[in-house]
Amino acid sequence: MREEVIPLSNFRVGVKAETWQEAVQAAGQVLLDCGSITQQYIDEMIQAVYDLGPYMVLMPGFALAHAEPSPAVLKDDMSLILLDKPVEFHSENDPVTIVLCVACVNRDSHREALIRVAAALMEDDIYDRLASAQTVEEAYTILHED
Amino acid sequence: MGDDLRIQAVCGFGCGSSLFLRIKIDKVLKENGLTARTFCGDVGTAASTPCDVIFCSEEIAERLESRATVPVVRIKNFRDEAEVKEKVLEFYSTLKD
């Protein structure tokens, strides 16, 4: 994956969160701070977990935070955060260390980039190394390597 | 069968986790020399979208099973290729009966 799919500035490591709500807020905050979403979208992501259960914890240690494309998404964007300490989402795949936040303006707009990220994250080797990355540069490099 | 078989990967909104699952299913199909048309769907409309089988997470399955008219296959760990492979092959084996 040579082409950049998540900019370096959208990675965080050592993020502090006590609860799954704080973890989703923290992942969304990255996109809020760079003007890609409004707080409304973060609230929608949290509400989605209340409504649909913790299905976003797709695999051990990993949560995909997202909500439906909505006016609260100003531009397609993704962030990836590594939590300082894992949190519980009340899922079989708990506890969660990595949260990927995806915001898209419509259902197809961010597909290609998300496919690339998804394929990387579902490789055991890449996932394991990413989960133990110590710096944002390290996390960025692992996600974008071939 | 073959290209006519339709596999729907379903999640809450049809554009996030279902995409992850679809990628894994596509990989398993390819590695096992199987072909099918795979696509994503959302939990609200999945049951009324024509397909031959639905793949989704546990939580989504609980919402779909009462409404779906096709088999609903639950995947616990989207990263676990062995689990996805086992369940895909298990579904294909039911087609031969």
Q: What is the pLDDT of residues A11-24, one digit of tens each?
A: 999 999 999 999 99
Residue extents of the structural domains in chain B: 2-95
Render pLDDT for B53-67 as a digit per residue (tens, 0 to 9). 999 999 999 999 999
CATH number of A8-144: 3.40.930.10
Separation between Cα atoms, residue B77 and residue A55, nearest integer Å: 10
Residue B79's pLDDT band (boundaries 50, 70, 90)?
A: very high
Is residue B1 over pLDDT 60?
no
CA B69, distance to chain mean position in Å, is 14
Written as six digits, the tokens of A146 are 């071939």
Cis previous bond, B50, omega within 30: no
Active-site annotation of A, residues: 66
Q: Which residues of chain B make contact with A1, given a CB cutoff of 8 A?
A: none
Are residues B63 and A59, on separate chains, in Cβ contact within 8 Å? no
Q: Which residues of chain A make contact with B13, given a CB cutoff of 8 A?
A: 48, 66-69, 107
Element (H, E) at A82: strand A77-87
What's the gap in Å between the CA of B83 and the closest CA on chain A? 12
The partner residue sitting opposite B59, judged by closest CB among A52, A59, A108, is A52
Is residue B39 over pLDDT 80?
yes
pTM for this model (two decimals): 0.93
Fold of B2-95: Rossmann fold (3.40.50)
Q: Is B27 helix (H, G, I), strand (E, B) or coil?
A: helix
Render pLDDT for A32-43 as a digit per residue (tens, 0 to 9). 999 999 999 999
Written as six digits, the tokens of B79 are 């990263």
Render pLDDT for B21-38 as a digit per residue (tens, 0 to 9). 999 999 999 999 999 999
- Percent share of chain A, pLDDT over 90: 88
Separation between Cα atoms, residue B96 and residue A108, nearest integer Å: 35
Where does residue A98 rank: exposed (0-12), middle (13-18), buried (19+ CB within 10 A)? buried
ipTM over 0.95: no
**Per-residue pLDDT at B66:** 93
Q: What is the mean pLDDT of residues A44-51?
A: 95
- Does residue B39 sit at the A interface (CB-CB below 8 Å)? no
